[in-house]
Structure formats: C-alpha cells, structure tokens
Amino acid sequence: MSIPSEPIGSLPRSPALQLALTEHAAGRLSDAELAGVQGEAVADTLDRLDKLGSQVLVDGDQGKPSSLTYPLTGLAGLGTDGVTIPFADGHTRQLPVLTGGPFRYQVRAETYLRAARARTGLPVKQSVVAPSALSLLYPPDGIDGYSREAFLGDLADEAEAEIRGCLDAGAHRVQLDFTEGRLSLKLDPSGGVLDDFVALNNKVLGRFTEDERARLGVHTDPGADDDSTHSLDVDYAGLLPRLFRLTVGNFYLQLAGEPDRERVLRMIADQLRPGIRVFVGVIDPIDPRVETPEEVRDRVLEAARHIPVDQLGTCDDAGFAPFADDTSTSRDLAFAKIDARLRGTELAAEALGL
C-alpha cells in the first residue's frame, strides 16, 4: 500500500476475555488462567488484522486494564481520589493519586510487545502512555519527602526506559498516547498545562536519536470511551501548534469525528514540517455505523489536498476500547471499520495514481 495505514491500539476485548476479567476480579480465576485467555485474545486479534490485510499489527491492548493505567498494575502507594475525567455523556473516569515515592513502572509495554511478536512475523506497533498523562498522578498538595521535581525526574526515566525497551524489542513504531493534550485546554484554557505536558514529553523524546525518533509517534484525540468524548468541544486550533512541537517522526490525529475537517486540515498544513508523517483519522470509533470504503477514500483524497502524499497516512480516530470494561463497540464492528479503512485507503491510492 503506497499510503500507509495503521491501527491506533485498543480493540474491544472478546466476550471470553470479558468473562475472564470478571471471574478474575471475583477471585474465581487465577492470574495464570487469565493470562491464558488474554494470550488467546491477542492471537485472535493479530490473526484477524492479518487476514484483513493490515501491514502493521497491534495486540489490541488485550492484556492491559487500560491504555492509561497499565504501568500502575500492582503498584503500592496509590490513593483513589485522583484527577477525574468527565465525558460528554456524563460518565467519568478517575485516576489514582500517588501517595509515596520513588515512582516506578510495575509493567512496561515491551512485555505486551514481546508476547505479540512471538505470535507473528509481521510488523507490530506498540502504544505507550505518554509521561504527561502519568504526571497527573502527583497530588497538588505534594508528598512529604518526595518533591514534584523528584517525581518528574523518576517519571521521565521510567518513560524513557519503556520506550527504549519497545524499540529494542523490535517495535515497528512506538506510539505515545496523548489524549490528555486536548483535555488540558479544557482544564486550563490558557495553555499553561499543555505547555508543561509538551515540555515533559520532549524532555523524554530528546533522549533518543533522530533515527530512533523516526520510529516514534504521538496520537491525540478528544477521548473515545464508552462512545463518548471528553474534549471534542475544545478547538483544535489551541492544540495543534503546540502538538507539532513534539519531536517525533509521526503524528496520529483524530479527524473523522471533527465537524469541520477541512478547517483542521488547513491548520495541519500550516504546522507541517519536512521529515514527519501525519496519519489522519478516517474512521470514527464512536460512530455505530460502519463507514464505506468509498467514504474513507473521499476522506483520504480530502486530506491529500492539504498534506503531501509522501507525508500522509491513515488511521482510526482513536482506539476502540481504551479501558478493558468498555463494551460500547462490539469486536466484530471494530474489525469491520478497520476493513473499511484499509480498503478505502487502497481506493484513494488508486485514485491518486500511486
């Protein structure tokens, strides 16, 4: 395919995995038994993506409790009254809060990547939580004997180690999930929090070589949990100039769900610089309707009027199930949408004579 197309990350967990998670939480299923069901779900995910013709695979986050909190699994020293994320439909997600240090990841994404790569010879992409998201764990009142500066230093070291571990494990791409970028402008319209987020992420990204950063990417969206968003009402104009300061080679941008895609594409074109690729979202995971390949084709051609084809790629707007308990989209529907993305991108490439 002359226009690359990649999934973002999470996919709905299989019914068998959903049941296993419930049984495990109730103490009726062992850790080993749960891991076995998760492994089967990973294998099924890789196989279905391969059969659809996806040139880049993901494990669908089948082993993660969420794309945000997986490094915290088993971490002692967490409270329950952290930052609350409100969604447009009224539901919320609440982060834990750190109560002591030093901060260390308990799980690194390379463990998921190695398990997936053991099951396929095709390229596998690995998503990781951006350090900016985990910076929200530190309480506003501080922690005795563990300053915010010390925490951010530990966080940067942990994030670097995770990304480097994924690169060393052979990731086709390592994608930092930065959904908190647009949300930050809702929490702080001045942009100060967003500037801090970008600075922290760049502190980590700056530890990698130019060749390594070519294999790194950043994904942003306004949320896609339980078929609802947390910041779609925030103007992209406040995010994009700061987003493109991030020193990565690839950007994955939600676009299909935007009410005025042409306006956003013009903004993207204004920020475009040589040596980067922009993957535009052509599938809306929270829309229950499956897009047709022709609709996808037209969205790609629309983007190609603003972004040079050699810097253009396609993706889904977001993951389909960022939290393991999100059952708002069926697994079959998600794969049908991915199929439409792949076929529509091929149609666009043909129309462009590529």
Residues 6+ apart with CB under 8 A from 54: 5, 6, 7, 338, 342
- CA–CA distance, 62 with 227 (Å, rounded to integer): 19
* Amino acid 70: pLDDT: 96
Q: Is the pLDDT of residue 182 over 90?
A: yes
- Please, what is the Cα angle at 218 between 8 and 208, to 5 degrees? 125
CB 246 within 8 A of CB 195: no
Its pTM stands at 0.96
* Amino acid 88: pLDDT: 93
How big is the chain by its Cα radius of gyration, in Å?
19
Q: Is the pLDDT of residue 340 over 60?
A: yes
Share of the chain above pLDDT 70, in %: 100
pLDDT digits (tens, 9 = 90+) for 128-181: 999 999 999 999 999 999 999 999 999 999 999 999 999 999 999 999 999 999
Dihedral sign for Cα 184, 187, 191, 192, please. negative
pLDDT digits (tens, 9 = 90+) for 79-106: 988 999 999 999 999 999 999 999 999 9
CB 95 within 8 A of CB 36: no
Question: Please, what is the average pLDDT of the chain?
Answer: 96
* Amino acid 1: pLDDT: 57
* Amino acid 334: pLDDT: 97
CB 232 within 8 A of CB 225: no
In three-state secondary structure terms, 314 is strand
CB 292 within 8 A of CB 350: no
pLDDT digits (tens, 9 = 90+) for 231-267: 999 999 999 999 999 999 999 999 999 999 999 999 9
